[in-house]
Structure 1
Amino acid sequence: TYNLCLTVCTWLSPRRWLNLQEYQSKKLMQESGVAVQRFYVADTASEALEAAKRLNAKEIVLKAQILAGGRGKGVFDSGLKGGVHLTKDPAVVGELANKMLGFNLTTKQTPKEGVKVKTVMVAEALDITRETYFAILMDRSFNGPVMVGSPQGGMDIEEVAASTPELIFKEAIDIFEGVRDDQALRMAANLGFKGALQRQAADQIKRLYDLFLKVDATQVEVNPLGETPEGQVVCFDAKINFDDNAEFRQKNVFAMDDMTEADPTEMAAAKWDLKYIGLDGNIACFVNGAGLAMATCDIIDLHGGKPANFLDLGGGVKEKQVYEAFKLLTADPKVEAILVNIFGGIVNCAIIANGITKACRELELKVPLVVRLEGKTALDTHQHWNTCTKVFVLPL
């Protein structure tokens, strides 16, 4: 019972999920024998040029490496349009890399100012005769890992599931047996591979499951898993999600985490086990639980306000966390008011109140603070607010 409780409490703690660059995911796949395009990584334009020459490929694809989607339609502050380019001339690779490296790339998923590109991937461009979708992920309804595949790849899998659900195939994996040969062959057939390609695809599926186990992944998604005119099955693009609880035994993987692109406030929050996401509004939110935090943001918006952030305090809260959270919220120049919305189930409201009163005194709070505490020891917290100015306590 103790171990189970410890596991659940650890899982509930807010964490910053590990993100890897595309080339890092491809390296992990290579190490597990998964077929990917030949590629090199470059930090300078001259390195990119040399990499393109070494590839000696009919066509080359140059990709800016940032932790955001939409690179193909992104724009650089150098004037270059697109973070993904195809060319047959190695010299052009060098020219393009010169307009990528050191410049900010803005996409639909980056901040307005974009993200500075420090690395590019120079890869062999392969023709694809057919695109499929394949993933291995943890599924609670199956109590374990599940294979998910579709012959319709290269597009948003949610769209496929909505328009043609009959083209989504699932296969539960027995964790004691792993992916059996018959399962891998059946999934390959469902993906539309035939003959020798079916056996090749089944082999790739089994290797992807080996990778899934090896790196303690929670999801390995390949979109597309493609078929080339030369009769090869290749993983063209992959996304790997990792179990942060396995960091202690995946030190090499977690050492690859690129912190330079992370938001400084999010990083500071993560040090105190706080899940923080900055938004554009002026009302700071201080809430426990992701669901309540999202609902709080929605209610603020519904009544014409704009939330300045999403902040999930989590369950096993300490007074110091409350204090540090207030430091982060008050450091945001956009914030004109703070709303505290706490439901005391696991959380002890007295701890929250102690942290807030300390923050009010020591941080010299200059904006209005609205506090709503409900649940465990909430009735015992009212004496705290006598020492705080600009505090509005909502009645229970």
Structure 2
Amino acid sequence: MTEVRYADFETTTALQTSRRMRRGGPPLDASATTKENASVTTTTVRLIDSEEANTIRRAGRQLLRVPKMPVRLIPQVAQGLNAGEGQAWGIAAVGAGQLGLAGEGVCVAVLDTGIDPKHPAFDGLISERNYKDFTGTGLVDSVGHGTHCAGIIFGRTVNDERIGLATGVTSVLIGKIADRNFTTTTDQLQQALNWAVNSGADVISLSVGLDFLGHASALRDAGLPQDAALVAALNDYRDYTRFFDRLIGQVVSAGAASRSALVVAAAGNDSHGDSQPPYRIGATLPAVAEKVLSVGAVSKGVGDLFDLAPFSNTGVDLCAPGVAIRSALPGGRYGAMTGTSQAAPHVAALATLWWQKVRNDRATRPDPDYVRSMMLGAAMPKRISGEHGFEEIGGGLAQAPV
């Protein structure tokens, strides 16, 4: 049966002094700032067992049921479209590198399979201070997925080969939440999200999804009849969605001095838009959570157009390059991968550029919701060929600020 805990959200308010930057960018010294007092509301979440939950409920407080469910790394798609070693063609496709923005001063978290800290593309960026393992399998990327995604976001140019969109990022957080022989659960996902936000992340990139079918299968293996297992899995999914929406609301919450971040997630690769008949599958959590930027994938098309990838799930906010994308691999290597897992870090990198622009323009720390709205408003639906509804392409092809 499903292991269940309960979420207790506690809210506190305190007066906090912050420093506001003068217009024109980060201050060079203390004289370039002005002090402001603000009332800051902070919400923390505790996961508790049923015994403590019963005590709290008797006191009249409401709690959310939090079932423990499996989370899977979104599987890669076989190199069938634009196959080969690939290129970092997404950089030009989304217009990165304009306005002289490169992500300076923005903190980016990648929650994935880890990273190869010795890869030349990450020279000087990774140490034990900003690399945390939530799996117990060690600070090594045995899959290569996390290294590849990180390279798309902030990988450095090596031997004149550019792979990263936001090459000026110097503040990074790497959370290892998945591995080849490790079953990731919602526990690791929640812990990593909290760690990233509390460590100062402005943008968080995720390429994992809740494994509903795997959860239903486990319930059947535990002795439930098939129909009962499906109903139980649906109930668990519903309850976890309620909790995760509340958790993300906490993560993205804005405030003058509160910690908050823009969360970007891959929509998934379960669709078959090229089959007969064609069909597309809806995205799962965390991509479908409220205020999360859900990302679909496109491939290179004809001329200046791009084609919606046949594997890309629906329920997206934006689309980005995700087919035969060249980036870093463990062991100092480079290679191509395909999937919405490659599209999501493109959008995460663009989010850092937008974050930097908004911060510079408004001379204050950006509100994640505002950055999200700016990105949605700048997207280009007409750059994607064919006729597609909003569920399939969202606002369209994500773009860098201009």
Q: Tell me whether the two structures share a fold, i.e. TM-score over 0.5.
A: no
- Pick the structure with more helix per residue: 1
- Shorter-chain TM-score: what band? under 0.3
State the structure with bigger RCO (CA 8 A, min sep 6), 1 or 2: 2
Give the TM-score normalised by structure 2: 0.24
Larger radius of gyration: 1
